[in-house]
A and B are shown apart, each in its own frame.
Chain A
Amino acid sequence: MIGKESHRSIAQRLQQDAFWFRQRGALLSFMILGLMLLFLSLFLGERFVSTTNIANLAGQLAPLFLVSLGQTFVLLGAGFDLSVGAVISLTTAILTLDFPDVFKLPLAIAAAVTVGLVNGVGCVYLRVHPIIMTLATSSIVQGVALILLPTPGGIAPQVLVTAASGTLFGLPAGFYWIIAAAALSIWVVHGTKYGVRLYATGENPQSAWINGINAPSIRISTYVISAMCAAIAGAYLTGRLASGDPNVGIALGLDSILGAALGGTLLSGGVGGPIGTIAGVLIIGLLNNGLNLANISPYYQFVFKGAMLIAAVSLFRRKEAGL
């Protein structure tokens, strides 16, 4: 269909084609990921390329995949969600309550949706800055989680334990959670009209509105999606740990932004997507895993992660400096 313009160079297409322009960050992350894979398999050999290690990795990374993919939606809509970590904590707290299992799952989902709606309405209709709004809800939700479950413990529903730590066709459950979440979010963003509307809203809510898109609902929906992804991640973690931990989410909250940003999703909205996030999360996972296997002090993780984060966001200069 492109016909007469097909002679354009790759660099030109990255600039000129809408799809590639929005995914140019992802392209880079996959290149970094490829180099990392090559490097790790060369230097660590069997220790890295073993089924146990890969299964381990999938199990460990599944929660980060889930929250990062959720965060990607919020970032695409030019928002920001710092509350995902607290939602994970709240979910594990709810799921390990002394309560019949049938009620706990719907309750956890309902709680997450509520948090997402509050975030969305606060940011969109009350016009509070997303960082402030989600910082506030994060604090509230973490408080509630601590009230429900003051210390780690409780018993996870058996269904979740099976779903999170079982195996199917020789592959660990985490692997399937990852595939399902990735496939679903790629389909939603790249295969539905919601996806196009999300990109439009993230780029310029006013123009989107003029085009007949209900930009406020789209923006609110991203917070709900992100909270629900966090709840699912919480459910997975609960199953994997087979008990609850009210502080389990804290680190994941920030890592979710890291994963999306490393994958080339811009914090200013409208550029990037779940494909890049997959690469971003894998980069984080391989970094931790590689350092572990190579017996390098885990403290270096922090340094590398921070440096990579800064490198990732510095690739695309914005017009203004600041937030």
Chain B
Amino acid sequence: MTRSLRNLPPAFWGLIAVGVLAAFTQPQFLSLPFLMILLRQAASIGIVALGQTFVVANRSLDLSVGANIAFVNLILAHAMWSGYHPFVAIVVALAAGTFIGFANGVLVTKLRASAVVVTLGTAAIITGIGFLYTGGAPGSSISDLVKWLGRGRVGIVPVAGLVWLGFAIAAFIIMRRLALGRFIYAAGDNPFAALFSGLPVDRTLLASHTLCGFFAASGGVLLSGLIGVGSINLGADYVLSSITAVILGGAVFGGGAGGAVGTVLGTALLVTVLNLLTVFGVGEPGKLIMQGLVIAAAAIIYQQGRRNG
């Protein structure tokens, strides 16, 4: 019992605290319609963060998710798809994003270079290609299908929220029910021990990066639908947000902790806190400060717990 309590991610307690705070100070914040707006907004970050969870648990990192999202957005908004079924654009965009993840994975495993530098490098390359592709002027032909995914509702529930749920279930199955999940945690904790146990260490890392690329691209599709136009700098802040959500969810570079549920809670906490700050009238700078404090606090608490436990 004590162990399962200890294993709850920091985000769980954070959410309870924030919920109580909101209930006493801003009760309308907890109303169903408002929560549904939050859900719609959280969905894209949530999916990107789920992707980031794979690589972080695998002791790697993807700093190119922001560029990935921007690239997906530029593809979706490009006028070249006007004559095709809207599915085509989505499939092409997802394929491009997945390929970015795959390329990261190949570079990280084959070159054995630091994932931080490699993904910074791919981010720069993708950004450049995006600029060249659009000539610096992004289109605005985002299909209604994409907009429906980003903004639409089924009853009261936002479509994006349902998509997020689907990705969360998929991530949960991968992490906890498939061999891949075991491999990710094992190779993330100790790549050498993983190698000597016969684990396919490189293919695991390649798979995590590819999954991260696919998840980031999917988040990019939802975000593009929500924004509705092409935009050069879309998703730049998603790098920080996705890492924050993962850390709040309890995963810290290997270490066997964190997972789909943790990251969903982490995303919920992050989005709730940021919106609550808006309600309290705190501006962008205040939110940045808050986000930094929350990352540091979660990481420090987690690290101290590990040392004592």
Contact = CB atoms under 8 A, between A and B. Distances in A.
A–B proximity contact (CB within 8 A): yes
Contact of B247 (A132, A258, A300): A132
Contacts of B116: 80, 131, 257, 267, 323
B288 interface: yes
Contact of A140 (B136, B205, B247, B289): B289
A142 B288 contact: yes
A12 interface: no
Q: Which of A150, A304, A313: most chain B Cβ within 10 A?
A: A313
Given A127-B307, A132-B243, A306 B295 contact: no
Given A302-B128, A303-B128, A323-B59, A132 B295 contact: yes
B243 A135 contact: yes
B101 interface: no
B292 interface: yes
Interface string B124-160: 1111110110001000000000000000000000000
Contacts of B59: 322-323
B80 interface: no
Interface in B201-237: 201-202, 205
B102 interface: no
Contact of A131 (B61, B127, B188, B191): B61
A279 B307 CA distance: 41
A6 interface: no
B48 to A, nearest CB: 16
A153 interface: no
Contacts of A267: 114, 116-117
Interface string A135-162: 1111111111111001000000000000
Contacts of A306: 120-126, 128
B122 A129 contact: no
B17 interface: no
A318 B289 contact: no
Contacts of A261: 117
Nearest to A148: B285
A310 interface: yes
Interface in A265-323: 267-268, 297, 299-310, 313-314, 317-323
A110 interface: no
Contacts of B293: 136, 140
B113 interface: yes
Kindly state the interface size class of chain B when it binds its partner.
35 or more
A320 B286 contact: no
Interface string A242-271: 000000000000100110010000011000
B288 A254 contact: no
Contacts, number: 171
Contacts of A132: 243, 247, 252-253, 295-296, 299
Interface in B285-309: 285-293, 295-296, 299-300, 303-304, 307
Nearest to A150: B285
Contact of B107 (A146, A147, A303, A314): A314
Contacts of B118: 310, 313
Given A140-B289, A140-B293, A322 B120 contact: no
Contacts of B131: 297, 299, 302
B186 interface: no
A43 B307 CA distance: 59
Nearest to A149: B285
A311 to B, nearest CB: 9
Contact of B299 (A129, A145, A305, A321): A129
A122 B296 contact: yes
B115 A302 contact: no
Contact of A146 (B115, B285, B290): B285
Nearest to A266: B114
Interface of B: 58-61, 107-109, 111-118, 120-129, 131-132, 136, 188, 191-192, 201-202, 205, 240, 243, 247, 252-253, 284-293, 295-296, 299-300, 303-304, 307
Given A146-B285, A305-B128, 17 more contacts: A126-B303, A126-B304, A129-B252, A131-B253, A133-B296, A137-B296, A142-B288, A146-B288, A297-B132, A306-B122, A306-B125, A309-B117, A310-B117, A310-B118, A314-B111, A321-B108, A322-B108
The 8 closest A-B pairs by CB, nearest first: A302-B128, A139-B292, A306-B124, A143-B288, A140-B292, A143-B289, A146-B285, A306-B125
10 contacts: A131-B61, A136-B299, A146-B288, A147-B285, A147-B286, A299-B132, A302-B124, A320-B112, A321-B201, A321-B205
